[in-house]
């Protein structure tokens, strides 16, 4: 579909439903599933968190994902143009604000992905008996370490060039083809690791703690809010990535079915990651270390103690690298679309300018963990929730009702779609606000209770 005001601007679409689903999974499945989900489970009560997370994925994840896709397809724009075309007050300014949020988030995300690349190379090196300084790339808790900073610069630079080369090829030749390779690789690696973890002595206790041991006292407001917040993080909801990918959907693509498959696949990857990691952690008595550095500090210790551990470590970090790489591409694509749609830059010019700028914006979070976590807190958690709220409001309160119903359910939307519209209009914004308030009080103001 072309823009009537810009006859030179054409929008690519997905080649098939399989390509669409794999590409959307590439956006959603990333570090949030394999890095964040297991340690969140460990931190927030095990099976209770998992149950609430699955419910949240259905009640909040699927409808919010459909809303962001609808906004993108209806307007045929990324966030910069989408909010303006939807009639959102100050829509262009809101779109540029979300562009800069995504720009800042892309820098620290690719930086963290550089840590994964470093560990993948390290597992390969030790597999063949070569020396490797484990953990050298990780920034110190505070202060500054020159070796860590230089390693982060180098590995981040390699990944930025890799992302640029994929993005230069566009949606079909670049993003689709890469997703078709990396998503199956991720699920294969998780399945292999899951089988190995489940055969460790004492793994049964880890499985029971992960999915089978519900304690009603664990269902606290803090756990509920954390599980709902994880849905935003893992599905890449935030009024940015899913909006731009929604703009590539064909008119006949059904949002409900594709959203359900995407959320199911995304949730499955998180559950697989839990089975691949947590039984091993529990069996070795390392559950107390369930913090953000779980996969970088604890897992190498796990791999070092099991037969063929280095091989399994290599499989794990390569799979994690692939999934994170696709999410980084999605974040970058938001910015490419903003520049090509609004500044008359060619795709090649936009990609290479952004490569330079993203490298520069990746530098501030590198010195230490304190700065990095503050960056993640601001641009990952808080702004992502805000962006998703703005997208849902734009769809259900700014676009015409008939247009939204047509986007959600086709030319003849039935009663379920009409009820879904009411759920999106009145309930989902309240749920998002509650999650945002929890984030503000617990992570920013430090006032949340257990």
CB atoms within 10 A of CB 40: 26
Q: Does residue 3 belong to any structural domain of this protein?
A: no
Q: What is the pTM of this model?
A: 0.84
For the chain, 450 residues long, give each residue's pLDDT as a single digit of tens: 334 443 334 556 666 666 666 666 766 666 677 777 877 787 777 788 889 999 999 999 999 999 999 999 999 888 888 999 999 999 999 999 998 988 888 888 899 899 999 999 998 998 888 888 888 998 998 899 999 999 999 999 999 999 999 888 876 666 777 777 777 877 787 788 788 778 878 788 878 877 776 777 777 887 888 888 888 888 888 888 889 888 888 888 889 998 998 899 888 888 888 888 878 777 777 665 555 566 777 677 777 777 777 888 888 888 788 878 878 887 888 888 889 888 878 989 999 999 999 999 999 999 998 888 778 777 766 788 889 999 999 999 999 999 999 999 988 889 999 999 999 999 999 988 888 887 677 666 664 444
Q: How many domains does the chain have?
A: 1
Pick from 105, 356, 45, 129: nearest CA to 241 = 105
* DSSP 8-state code for residue 104: H
Q: Domain containing 331 — which CATH number?
A: 1.20.1740
Strand partners, 6: 3
pLDDT at 4: 42
> Is 11 within a domain?
no
* SS3 call for 6: strand
Residue 427 lies in a domain: yes
Residue 24 resides in a domain: yes
CA nearest to 272, candidates 363, 179, 176, 207: 207
Residue 448 per-residue DSSP state: -
What would the two tokens of residue 74 be? 């209806």
Q: In terms of Cα–Cα distance, which of 408, 309, 349 is closest to 70?
A: 408
**Distance between CA 214 and CA 209 in Å, rounded?**
8
Contact 34, 194 (CB under 8 A): no
| Both structure tokens of 375 | 């960056």
**Is 10 contained in some domain?**
no
Structural domain contains residue 2: no
In a domain, 12, yes or no: no
Angle at 326 between CA 324 and CA 331, to 5 degrees: 95
Domain housing 338: 17-444
Q: According to the model, what pLDDT value does residue 5 have?
A: 40
Q: How far is the CA of 426 from the CAs of 260, 405, 421, in angstroms?
A: 21, 15, 9
Residues 6+ apart with CB under 8 A from 288: none
Contact of 53 with 231, CB cutoff 8 Å: yes
- The reply to whether 4 falls in a domain is no
Query: How far are the Cα atoms of 89, 262, 269, 317 from residue 322, in angstroms, in the given order?
Result: 38, 17, 13, 9
């Amino acid at each position: 579909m072309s823009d009537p005001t810009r006859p030179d601007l054409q929008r690519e679409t997905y080649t098939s439903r399989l390509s669409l689903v794999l590409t959307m999974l590439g956006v959603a499945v990333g570090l949030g599933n394999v890095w964040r989900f297991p340690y969140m489970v460990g931190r927030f009560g095990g099976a209770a968190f998992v149950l609430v997370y699955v419910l949240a994925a259905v009640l909040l994840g699927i409808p919010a994902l459909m809303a962001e896709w609808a906004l993108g397809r209806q307007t045929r724009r990324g966030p910069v143009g989408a909010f303006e075309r939807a009639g959102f007050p100050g829509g262009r300014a809101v779109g540029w604000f979300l562009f800069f949020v995504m720009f800042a988030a892309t820098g620290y995300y690719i930086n963290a992905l550089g840590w994964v690349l470093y560990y993948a190379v390290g597992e390969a090196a030790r597999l063949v008996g070569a020396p490797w300084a484990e953990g050298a790339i990780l920034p110190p808790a505070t202060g500054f370490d020159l070796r860590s900073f230089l390693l982060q610069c180098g590995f981040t630079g390699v990944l930025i060039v890799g992302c640029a080369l994929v993005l230069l090829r566009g949606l079909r030749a670049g993003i689709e083809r890469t997703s078709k390779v990396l998503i199956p690789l991720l699920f294969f690696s998780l399945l292999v690791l899951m089988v190995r973890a489940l055969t460790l002595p004492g793994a049964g206790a880890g499985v029971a703690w992960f999915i089978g041991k519900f304690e009603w006292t664990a269902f606290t407001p803090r756990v509920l809010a954390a599980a709902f917040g994880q849905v935003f993080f893992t599905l890449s909801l935030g009024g940015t990535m899913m909006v731009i990918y929604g703009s590539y959907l064909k008119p006949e693509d059904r949002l409900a079915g594709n959203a359900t498959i995407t959320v199911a696949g995304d949730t499955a990857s998180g559950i697989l990651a839990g089975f691949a990691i947590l039984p091993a952690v529990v069996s070795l008595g390392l559950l107390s270390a369930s913090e953000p550095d779980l996969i970088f500090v604890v897992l190498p210790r796990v791999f070092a103690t099991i037969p063929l551990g280095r091989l399994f470590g290599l499989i794990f970090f390569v799979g994690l690298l692939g999934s994170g790489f696709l999410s980084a591409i999605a974040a970058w694509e938001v910015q490419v679309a903003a520049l090509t749609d609004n500044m008359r830059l060619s795709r090649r010019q936009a990609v290479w300018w952004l490569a330079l700028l993203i490298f520069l914006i990746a530098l501030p979070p590198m010195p230490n963990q304190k700065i990095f976590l503050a960056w993640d807190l601001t641009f990952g958690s808080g702004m992502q929730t805000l962006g998703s709220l703005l997208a849902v409001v734009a769809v259900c309160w700014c676009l015409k009702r008939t247009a939204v119903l047509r986007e959600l359910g086709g030319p003849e939307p039935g009663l379920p779609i009409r009820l879904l519209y009411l759920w999106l209009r009145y309930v989902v914004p309240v749920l998002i606000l509650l999650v945002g308030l929890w984030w503000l009080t617990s992570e920013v103001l430090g006032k949340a209770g257990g």
